[in-house]
A and B are shown apart, each in its own frame.
Chain A
Amino acid sequence: MAAVSSFRIMTTVTKIAPEQETPRAEMQEVETKKSRTRRELNHVVSGLKPPYSSRARRVALYLGLLVAVLSVSSVVGQQFPTSFRVPFGSATEAVFEWGVDHLAWLYEPVAESLEDVLVSMQFMLVDLPAPLLALLLIGIAYARCGPLIAGLLTVALGFVISVGLWDETLQTLVLMVVAVVIAVILGILIGVAAQMNRRFEAFVLIALDAMQTFPVFAYLVPIVFIFGPGNTGALIVTIIWALPPVTRMTILGIKTVPSESIEAATSCGSTGWQILRNVQIPLARPSIMAGVNQTVMFAMSMAIVAAMIGAGGLGQSVWGSLTRLAFGQALEAGIALVLFAIVLDRVTGQGKKSTGHGLFSDFRTLVTTTGAERPALVKRAFQQHRRTILTAAVLFAGTIYISMVPALRFANFETPPESLRLSFADPVDQAVDWLNLNLGFILDVVVDGIQGYVLNGVTALLLAIPWPTVFFVVVGASLLLRGIRGAALAAAGLLGIGVLGMWEAAAITLGIAGAAVLVALFIGLPIGAVMSRSIKLERTIRPVLDVMQTLPVFLFVIPIVVVLGTGAVAGLLATVLYCLPPVIRLTNVALRGVDSETVEAATSTGATVWQLLRTVKIPLGMPTIMIGINQAIILSLAMAVVSAFIGTPGLGQALLTGVVTARLDLGIEAGVAMFLLAVVVDRLVTGVNRKIQAHSHLVPA
């Protein structure tokens, strides 16, 4: 799997058990989990390493190859030759223009019906009395998810009302709801279809990888060409971005339905369709719901990008305020986005522990039951559905009350009464100014130091390495790590970047991303390790990470400029902030996740905390930590576009130039190059990860 978001891996690691193949399942029984972990422990504690008889010879071989490559490289030259350049972008542009002209019959109806849906939903919401809408939302949240989330929603709504963002919030919510509903329906359909056909599944997985790795900015302008600006285009962009998680989790969910349940249904004589409907989809539901949850979060994260092509709402408020340096207003809208992201996360991500019956099935039981059991049943039903009944009653009364009191009926939430008015503008602007005026000079020294002594050097170094050297080293590494196929993929990817004319930009992007990841590891690994040792700390750090991941990136990117100035250092800092959470999270998960019996075994031999960490927890948690590192790398590459907004050079800048100058070809070329770079890097890192796993014997060969 290539580019993956933090959410996806988190769930894969923590929630989903590995699937088993039937023939192997029995053999795995032989070696029970415990005996396996013991063996690992023995291995780790005794520090034995498998002997490498031919190691020296191999090292010599590699060194020889390296020397050869270097000498070839120095002859060929440093930069990828421009004569290899392939006008991929302009070709694509031509195809695209043909499509725009000739396929209108295909996309026009889609665009129009989507717009109709959006417009009618927006009208519906606008026509509802605002207090009633608020009451309704809170009521549904209460009935469905309980008082805590209803309370959270109340706070969120109260916040947006008092900062005067009611209309923007509604616009964003409508866009999100429509995008999520469409993405979920599409995603589940695609997921189910993929489950039925292996070839289609392979295709879908590649397409999903591409959708997640291909930078959104590269297709912003084409989308506007096809669907027009405003909400429809934004909707499409949001759907494209939010589709992968639910699709993946549907596929995964259906796959991980216990084979026995399917066999049980099969052995009862179910048809394939019956199995799908009665067993696979219901049992995959938790997984699908997790996917829906991620889809919602992904959609929310697109709010600002959607604003760039004309979607109204909170994203628009953030971006608009940032461009006029109204950081306080931007923060207000940003907080509103975070609050609603949290509410939506809790609403969709709630673990369904209750096995209580549905209202309908209880009602049915009530109707069909007679006699002595009935009163008890009625009582139980009332108790179980107390919340629902209560909410319905309150909502009904509230509706009547609101429609009778004109002041409420025509209440305008857009401009809050002065007494409720909340504004962050002054404190935030003052804080930014204070930072700029008081810390700015110190930070300047730091920034200039990093720029002058580190980044300039790294960039110079990266650009000084001749391209054949990079090519052969990467392809060789892929050959070792992933075999012929991996090497072919890496070669194709690197050549692709070269012929697109993006070699230099890719090198710079990679350098900055690599530096950012190193810094993130330097900070994140210790924090994760400390966090794994204390539940209290975990409880404190977790929400911080949540907010870091939900806050729109742009929100902190532009203020960084005021303090640090534009350029690669600011971009580096933003990238570090962005890719830090997964490192911390997965380090924590990895160190906590080590089998408790294994830890006990080590402790009982008298290992100190540090020894335990070094000899047991880190080696056993390494695969998970590596997943975190991989995520950090992919995120840092994805961040290239955002950091380009504050003047960081590289592929992101090329892409942005394509967007700014409306050059579709340049945008596409830079986008494809970013995709290729991400794929090559991802495959390499997962290859390293696999090697580490194989080396540690954690996975049976």
Chain B
Amino acid sequence: MKNHYRAASITGIVSLAIILSGCGAASERSAQGPQVDASIAPEIGTALQKEGPVQIIDQDFLSASIHAEMMAQLLEKMGGEASTLKIADINSTWPAMAKADNLVNPEAWDIFFGPQIEEYVEKEKSVVQLGTLSITAEEGWYVPTYVIKGDPERGIEPACPGLPDWKALNDCAHIFASPETGGKGKYLTGPAGWIDYYGDAQRIENLGLNYEVVAAGSEAALVAEIKRAYDRGEPLLSLMWSPHFVTQKYDLTRIEFPPYTKECWGTTFACGWQDPSLLKLAGSEFPEKHPTAADFVSKFSLSDDDLGALMVEMEESQDAADVVVKKWIDENPDVWSQWLPSVPSES
């Protein structure tokens, strides 16, 4: 009946001791915190401290995690206070930034967020863009390269050598077919919501393709399907993009559709993807309240090679992003020193 007294009494007895030891631990720990780099001008640290803590959104896919970790760690290195905030549901990042004045999204793919950009950036002006990353991104329909060229090592014959030209797709429809699609070829996308967004049904119809779109349901399922097919050496036609750990890990080739035009996208979709821009975003009050941090964010830009290397490193070592990023920062001061912010004059 009254067992809770036991727990209560124990808690009571030890709480005093906890307070004693705990307080001591806390103060010493914070003293251990990340070392401020001596090569960085101390005014930056002072300014950042004055502006207060910043949170970098980690959307929990590989490249985004790396970007978020790197921004946060560099801000700390400069003497500021920064942490990452994981938000796996990428749509939630928008209301989150709009609400907060200290939230930064280091990697927002513009093509994912057409309506949100319109609403938050252009209409409400509750989110602002702090430049773009210099990453070359691409997105589209992909096949494993062995489908085109074969893979003698694994004993795979080229199943559809006419690719990546889209005109070869119809000839190969049967190799991509599945029971769900009957005799038609299967094109696999992620969540069903992306079908309309990317106009896959229109593209198929307007290019006269003998294909059907099938939704894997989620990015995780899509990636699992690619792994499944690739490991078995089977053909698969699916949505993919780069930078992504799958395009790093597996040798995939993008189908070449008629080039992107503004007129085609949104109407017939009889063309390929626009190459995405990776935006850096923050709440609209961020530049005002965190001018130094905002300047750093707008200067921040990792190269394709660096990002690719980091992603491979993460995949191979199975280490978390923070470990890999820390190593990179230690080894590449010449790269990130170019991103150091200028301190606003009035402070």
Contacts and interface: CB of A to CB of B under 8 A. Distances in A.
On whether A and B touch (CB less than 8 Å), the answer reads yes
A568 B86 CA distance: 31
B245 interface: yes
A644 B220 CA distance: 12
A140 B224 contact: no
Contacts of B178: 448, 565, 567
Interface string B163-204: 000000000000000111000000010111110110000000
A346 interface: no
Nearest to B85: A230
Contact of A647 (B24, B99, B217): B217
A308 interface: yes
Interface string B217-229: 1111111110110
Nearest to B3: A144
Q: Is the interface of A mostly helix, strand, loop or mixed?
A: helix
A310 B92 contact: yes
Contact of B88 (A309, A448, A561): A309
Contact of A395 (B4, B13, B188, B245): B13
A221 B91 contact: yes
B28 interface: yes
Contacts of A140: 7, 10-11
A392 B96 contact: no
A566 B220 CA distance: 10
B21 interface: yes
B216 A647 contact: yes
Interface residues of A, number: 91
Given A360-B5, A566-B221, A433 B231 contact: yes
Given A129-B22, A225-B95, A660 B193 contact: yes
A319 interface: yes
B220 A645 contact: yes
Interface residues of B, number: 71
A197 interface: no
B216 A646 contact: yes
Contacts of B91: 221, 659-662
Contacts of B20: 403
Interface string A187-205: 0000000000000000000
Interface string A601-644: 00000000000000000000000000000000000000000011
Nearest to B244: A324
B22 A323 contact: no
Interface string B1-35: 11111110111011001101111111011000000
A391 interface: yes
A561 B96 CA distance: 32
A129 B25 contact: yes
B252 to A, nearest CB: 15
Q: Which has the most chain A C-beta neighbours within 10 Å: B9, B13, B25, B92?
A: B92
B1 A354 contact: yes
Interface stretch (A272-280, A334-342, A540-548, A650-658): A650-658
Contact of B192 (A322, A437, A559, A653): A653
Given A224-B96, A309-B92, A653-B217, A566 B225 contact: yes
Nearest to A654: B192
Contacts of B340: none
Contacts of A501: none
Nearest to A104: B99
B89 interface: yes
A671 B13 CA distance: 49
B347 interface: no
Most buried by B among A308, A323, A359, A388: A323
Nearest to B2: A358
Contact of B14 (A229, A392, A436, A658): A392
Interface in B106-150: 115-116
A323 B223 contact: yes
- B11, B20, B196 interface centre (most CB from chain A within 10 Å): B11
A139 interface: yes
A320 B95 contact: no
B96 A399 contact: no
A285 to B, nearest CB: 8
B218 A645 contact: yes
A226 to B, nearest CB: 9
B329 interface: no
A447 B96 CA distance: 42
B224 A310 contact: no
Interface in A426-456: 433, 436-437, 440-441, 447-448, 451-452, 456
Contacts of B85: 229-230, 310
Contacts of B267: none
B89 A659 contact: yes
Contacts of A354: 1, 3
| Nearest 6 CB-CB pairings of A with B | A358-B2, A403-B21, A657-B193, A660-B193, A399-B17, A647-B217
Given A452-B179, A566-B221, 8 more contacts: A143-B6, A325-B224, A326-B318, A357-B2, A358-B3, A392-B13, A403-B20, A566-B222
Interface of B: 1-7, 9-11, 13-14, 17-18, 20-26, 28-29, 60-62, 85-89, 91-96, 99-100, 115-116, 178-180, 188, 190-194, 196-197, 214-225, 227-228, 231-232, 245, 315, 318
